[in-house]
Amino acid sequence: MKKIISVVGARPNYMKVAPIHRAFQKYSKEITHLICHTGQHYDVNMSKIFFEELELPEPHFYLGVGSGSHSEQTAKIMIEFEKVLLNEKPDLVIVVGDVNSTIACSLVAVKLGIKVAHVEAGLRSFDRSMPEEINRLLTDQIADYLFVTEKSGIENLKNEGIPDEKIFFVGNTMSDSLVYYLPKIDKSQILNELNLLNEKYVVVTLHRPSNVDKSENLIRIFEEFKKIAEKYKIVFPIHPRTKKVLQSSGYDYSHPNFLIVDPIGYISFIKLVKNSIAVITDSGGIQEETTFLKIPCLTLRDNTERPITAELGTNKLIGTQYDKIALEFFKYLNSLKTDSTIPPLWDGKAAERITAKLVELLK
Ligand code: UD1
């Protein structure tokens, strides 16, 4: 029997690990698959609700590290995760995405001589001021098996000298979750609950430090949202980080067409996106989810590590000239391309490919 531990830490990790956990059930005679939650995100609506909705088991290990500076958080995860690995002696650790938990746990495992698989490898924004870019670069350098979601990932890894035999183009586990949960998403009552039935609305999410940590930037962004709100409702499930800055800014962000709510679970959130007129975001994963659902997405960033979403999908980078958000928004809606496509292998079967390959590699 081989033992594998998958790591989750922050909100964008859960929907990537859920399909992997499900796919491993098929191999339950050969593989014990366990989940370790680092506790990087800990609020109920940043964590627990996702476990329930995604039908994930209670994490087998919970490290409870919480917030802190990057070094503090990363170091705490390392100290606690090392104890788990020393006790459990797994054959493999799976990390996903690009959060601090991803690099912290990879580093611990590799130093203990335990193999590491990185799911969502090879994505690059080429912007090293983004903490996630550092996490991606370093994780990919030390991981043993690199599972790639889009073709840019293969090129990036090759350019960084990663040998071909470590790279596996498998598609996107995030879209596995979309495919699997779609029936449940369609039944969600969130539109009724928020009184949005038959309304035209825009979904907003913002949490990237470069956009939200300075209150003057956030205020400029909200001034633009007021212009958009003349025509559409703005539904904004607000990240704790963004909420703190907004509340301490003293800015009056009340508006009859703003619906600012606490972060919401996966099923309700995707339902909101699926029925929206467009999404404005600075998230990575939401660029992919909107591409899969063919919902127009305006990304408030100068670069993306997921170029396929702009090439084939519905994503448009509008940069960070905040005073132009409303202008860009209306321009984009008026010139929507109708030929967006779902990228190759985003077919709901990525986790099956990943688990099959890992079972073979561990033999
Ligand atoms: C993290 C990830 C980011 C990901 C995002 C998704 C890193 C470097 N960043 O950013 O890539 O897109 O998660 O949400 O790993 N907080 C709470 N409750 C929580 C979690 C956070 O109140 O459950 C607050 C804390 O004040 C904390 C702040 O949010 O200091 C930021 O949390 P942190 O985990 O450091 O980074 P995120 O901005 O969430």
Do 152 and 38 share a structural domain? yes
Ligand 1 centroid vs 344 CA: distance in angstroms?
30
The three-state secondary structure class of 115 is strand
- Residues with a known catalytic role: 207
Do 35 and 138 share a structural domain? yes
Give the predicted TM-score (pTM) of the model: 0.96
Full residue range of the structural domain in which residue 236 is found:
182-334
Q: Residue 183 contacts by C-beta under 8 Å, 6 or more apart in sequence?
A: none
Do 236 and 270 share a structural domain? yes
Ligand 1 centroid vs 207 CA: distance in angstroms?
8
Has residue 339 been placed in a domain? Answer: no
Q: Given this model, what pLDDT does residue 297 score?
A: 97
Has residue 64 been placed in a domain? Answer: yes
Tell the residue nearest (CA) to atom 12 of ligand 1. Answer: 283
* CATH code for the domain of 34: 3.40.50.2000
Residue ranges of the chain with pLDDT lower than 70? none
Do 72 and 40 share a structural domain? yes
| H or E segment to which residue 234 belongs | strand 233-237
Q: What percentage of the chain reaches a pLDDT higher than 70?
A: 100
- Tens of pLDDT, residue by residue over 230-271, are 999 999 999 999 999 999 999 999 999 999 999 999 999 999
Please compute, for residue 184, the number of CA atoms within 13 A of its CA located in the half-sphere on the CB side.
15
Do 211 and 139 share a structural domain? no
The three-state secondary structure class of 260 is strand
Do 7 and 69 share a structural domain? yes
Ligand 1 centroid vs 163 CA: distance in angstroms?
33
Has residue 320 been placed in a domain? Answer: yes
Q: Given this model, what pLDDT does residue 315 score?
A: 97
Q: Residue 98 contacts by C-beta under 8 Å, 6 or more apart in sequence?
A: 120, 123, 132, 133, 135, 136, 139, 284, 305
Query: Does ligand 1 come within 6 angstroms of the Cβ of 102?
Result: no
Do 322 and 192 share a structural domain? yes
Most ligand 1 atoms within 8 A of CB, residue of 40, 74, 212, 264 to mutate: 40
Contact by Cβ (8 Å): 306, 288 = yes
Has residue 340 been placed in a domain? Answer: no
Has residue 46 been placed in a domain? Answer: yes
Q: Given this model, what pLDDT does residue 197 score?
A: 79
